[in-house]
Amino acid sequence: MQRVSRLTRELSLLATEPPPGITCWQNGQLDDLRAQILGGVDTPYDKGIFNLEIIVPERYPFEPPKIRFLTPIYHPNIDSAGRICLDVLKLPPKGAWRPSLNISTLLTSIQLLMAEPNPDDPLMADISSEYKYNKQLFLLNAREWTKKYAGQLRVRTSHCLLGVAPSTVLLSQFPFHSCFVLSFLLLCVLDLYSISLYFKLIIFSPSS
C-alpha cells in the first residue's frame, strides 16, 4: 500500500510539476513507467528526445527503480543495452540510493549525467577514452548518434495523469509561433489565388 500511494503521488507531481525537459508516465501498470528526457542545450544531445524504461521493484522506495535508456545514446556511462552507471541507481555501500529520493530525482540526475559525463567511472571504456583524450571526436560522434537515433518528431506532453494516456504533439525545428505565422500566411496566399482565379473566370468567360 505504501508503494502504491507513494508512486501515485510521485506520478501526479511529475504530471503537474515536471522538471524542465523531463516527462514521465505510466505504461499500463503502475510499476512499469516510461520517461522522456530532452537533450540539453550546449550538449551533443541538444534537440534529441531520449526514451527511458523505469521498472519499479516491490520493495520501492527501499530499493531503487531499474532505469535504462531505450534510445541509443553515445555516452561513456551508458552502455549499448541502455544500462546507466550512476551511484543513485544503486544501493549502498556501492551506491547512494536512499528512500528519501524519488523518480523525479533520478531522472534529473540522469539528465545531469548526460550534460556532465563521468569518464572515470565508465561503462564504455572506448567512449570514455575518447571523451578524455579526443573531446572533439566524442562530440562529433555523440551528435551523429543523437541525430540518427534521438531526432524523433514526437514527444509526450507532460500533462498526463494516472490512468489517462498522454497526448502526443509534433516537434519542429521552428518555434511554435513561427510555424503558426507561416501556416497563416500560406493560407492567405492560397485564398488570394483562389479569389483571383474566380474573377478571371468571370471576366474572361464567354457570355451566354
Contact 36, 21 (CB under 8 A): no
The DSSP secondary structure of 137-183, one letter per residue, reads: HHHHHHHHHHHHHS--SEEE-S---TTSPPPEEE--SS-HHHHHHHH
* H helical segments located in the chain: 2-16, 103-115, 125-133, 135-149, 176-204
Taking alpha carbons only, the member of 5, 122, 7 closest to residue 55 is 7
Q: Which three cell numbers stand for residue 63?
A: 530499493
In this prediction, residue 178 has a pLDDT band, given cuts at 50, 70 and 90, of very low
Domain ranges in the chain are: 2-171, 172-208
Topology adopted by domain 2-171 = Ubiquitin Conjugating Enzyme (3.10.110)
Is 193's pLDDT higher than 60?
A: no
Q: What is the pTM of this model?
A: 0.75
Q: 85 an active-site residue?
A: yes
C-alpha 122 chain-centroid distance = 23
Residue 50, strand partner residues: 37
Q: Which three cell numbers stand for residue 31?
A: 510499476
Alpha-carbon Rg of the chain, whole angstroms? 24
Kindly state the percentage of the chain with pLDDT values over 70. Answer: 73
Is 170's pLDDT higher than 50?
A: no
Averaged pLDDT for residues 184-190: 54
Q: How far is CA 157 from CA 21, 38, 111, 147, 161, in A?
A: 10, 12, 18, 21, 11
Is 128's pLDDT higher than 60?
A: yes
Contact 146, 46 (CB under 8 A): yes
CA 50 to CA 113: how far, in whole Å? 13
Catalytic residue among 85, 160, 179, 188: 85
Is 83's pLDDT higher than 90?
A: yes
In this prediction, residue 2 has a pLDDT band, given cuts at 50, 70 and 90, of confident
* H helical segments located in 26-134: 103-115, 125-133
- The one-letter amino acid code at 107 reads L
CA 123 to CA 164: how far, in whole Å? 36
CA 157 to CA 176: how far, in whole Å? 15
